[in-house]
């Protein structure tokens, strides 16, 4: 019996606030966090209470609606209300640098705010218009994930064993999932899917979140230390590796949770297809090459301690990039709402230049 409705209520607008499912508490506890102001929401994104590229984008959309609501409460006039929304856009943009979905949503909602304001909207009109647009972004994300899920499901055999990394599931999106969306859609199409989930050091999104949500949805899921992925791939049991992405450059180079690149190398070495599943909001035609993607560096303490316990001697440094870049040449295909995009990616990904 699932603990939550599905698609998961990862981020919602409730009355006067943004409510996020606090993913730092999973798998131990299903708890929600009320974000009553921008500081709360930005802190929730930074500490990964809400995380995963599309989910951050959805949260940012509701964040701009929240900024407009606070402008209504403060009785700001129309120009000051717009200024507050645009300031909030800057604050949200500074939370995490790598997932392009954040900037995609902020650009979309920011432009909408400017249009509403030019059409004469006061603070209340701005709030109503931004909330409606944020809900559209959210609904579209679920629809894109369902569509890409169907496209990806067709790539899997009737009885499939899939290896995934980090959490690119309902928890990382508007509720349905990208890599795990493929797995949900495969089951909806009558296929049987067994999943191996990399634990995903250092914050264990694979063990804590992917394993939690797949078990919650009734799948057989097995967690492994990512160092064991090589042996697993060599054993021949894996039909496909499917991951999500935080930003996909025009040439197919893909930023995703650190550890994805070595997994792609291993998949290539063992002739296992390596698929990246992502909605249109993750493709960044303005970034030509993976080397232009900003990689978030996080607190070294995330590597040297876990849950308050030291995992390295005191005083030892740590390198903690949150993401790595997989060269496009290691990606078998991208799975998106337009279908399955295969190399050469500098041609097939042009579908996103006109969105
Ligand atoms: O640091 P996180 O947990 O936000 O990283 C998440 C990932 O790397 C996901 O694989 C990616 O955002 C795709 S989510 C559909």
CA distances to 86, 284, 330, 352 from 242, rounded to whole Å, are 37, 20, 13, 21
- For residue 140, give both structure tokens: 């579209």
Bridge partners of 192? Answer: 159
Residues 139 and 247 occupy one common structural domain: no
Q: Quickly count: other Cβ atoms within 10 Å of residue 263's Cβ.
A: 27
Question: What's the CATH code of the domain at 51?
Answer: 1.20.120.420
Residues 140 and 161 occupy one common structural domain: no
Residues 72 and 163 occupy one common structural domain: no
* Catalytic (active site) residue 246: yes
Please tell me if the CB atom of residue 326 comes closer than 6 angstroms to any atom of ligand 1: no
152 is a domain residue? no
Distance from Cα 244 to the centre of ligand 1, integer Å = 7
Number of structural domains found in the chain: 2
Please tell me if the CB atom of residue 145 comes closer than 6 angstroms to any atom of ligand 1: no
> What is the predicted pLDDT for the residue at 239?
98
Distance from Cα 257 to the centre of ligand 1, integer Å = 6
Residues of the chain with pLDDT under 70: 1, 354-355
- Which position among 216, 246, 253, 324 bears the catalytic label? 246
Residues 191 and 331 occupy one common structural domain: yes
> What is the predicted pLDDT for the residue at 194?
98
Distance from Cα 52 to the centre of ligand 1, integer Å = 4
> What is the predicted pLDDT for the residue at 210?
98
Range of the domain at 317: 157-352
Please confirm whether the linkage preceding 7 is cis (ω < 30° from 0).
yes
pLDDT tens track for 167-200: 999 999 999 999 999 999 999 999 999 999 999 9
Please tell me if the CB atom of residue 205 comes closer than 6 angstroms to any atom of ligand 1: yes
- What beta strand segments (E) does the chain contain? 11-14, 17-21, 32-35, 159-164, 192-198, 220-224, 240-243, 247-249, 254-257, 274-277, 283-284, 305-306, 309-310, 323-326, 333-336, 339-341
Domain termination site, one of 84, 117, 145: 145
> What is the predicted pLDDT for the residue at 3?
76
Tell me the pairing of strands 159-164 and 192-198. Answer: parallel
Residues 162 and 136 occupy one common structural domain: no
Please tell me if the CB atom of residue 173 comes closer than 6 angstroms to any atom of ligand 1: yes
- For residue 89, give both structure tokens: 């856009």
CA nearest neighbour of 151 among 219, 242, 239: 242
Residues 140 and 180 occupy one common structural domain: no
Residue with tokens 């921008």: 38
Domain termination site, one of 119, 145, 171: 145
Task: Report d(CA 228, CA 39) in Å as an integer.
Answer: 39
Give CA 231 to chain center in angstroms. Answer: 28
3 is a domain residue? no
């Amino acid at each position: 019996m699932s603990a939550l409705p599905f698609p998961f209520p990862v981020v919602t607008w409730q009355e006067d606030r943004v409510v996020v499912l606090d993913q730092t508490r999973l798998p131990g506890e299903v708890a929600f966090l009320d974000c009553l102001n921008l500081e709360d929401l930005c802190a929730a994104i930074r500490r990964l209470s809400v995380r995963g590229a599309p989910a951050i984008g959805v949260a940012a959309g509701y964040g701009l609606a929240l900024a407009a609501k606070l402008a209504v409460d403060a009785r700001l006039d129309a120009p000051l209300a717009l200024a507050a929304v645009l300031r909030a856009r800057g604050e949200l943009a500074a939370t995490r640098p790598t997932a392009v979905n954040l900037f995609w949503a902020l650009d979309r909602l920011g432009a909408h705010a400017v249009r509403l304001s030019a059409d004469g909207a006061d603070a209340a009109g701005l709030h109503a218009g931004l909330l409606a647009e944020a809900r559209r972004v959210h609904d579209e994300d679920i629809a894109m994930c369902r569509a890409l899920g169907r496209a990806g499901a067709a790539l899997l055999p009737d009885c499939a064993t899939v290896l995934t990394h980090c959490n690119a599931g309902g928890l990382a999106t508007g509720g349905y999932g990208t890599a795990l969306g493929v797995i949900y859609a495969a089951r909806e199409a009558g296929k049987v899917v067994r999943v191996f989930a990399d634990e995903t050091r250092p914050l264990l999104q694979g063990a804590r979140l992917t394993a939690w949500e797949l078990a919650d949805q009734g799948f057989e899921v097995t967690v492994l230390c990512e160092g064991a992925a090589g042996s697993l791939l060599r054993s021949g049991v894996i039909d496909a590796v499917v991951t999500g992405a935080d930003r996909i450059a025009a040439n197919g180079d893909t930023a995703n949770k650190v550890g994805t690149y070595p997994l792609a190398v291993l998949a290539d070495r063992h002739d296992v297809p390596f698929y990246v599943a992502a909605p249109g909001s993750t493709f960044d035609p303005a970034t030509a090459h993976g080397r232009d993607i900003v990689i978030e560096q996080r607190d070294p303490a995330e590597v040297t301690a876990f849950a308050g316990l030291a995992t390295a001697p005191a005083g030892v440094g740590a390198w903690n990039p949150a993401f790595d870049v997989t060269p496009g040449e290691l990606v078998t295909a991208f799975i998106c709402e337009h279908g399955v995009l295969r190399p050469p990616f500098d041609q097939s990904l042009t579908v996103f230049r006109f969105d």
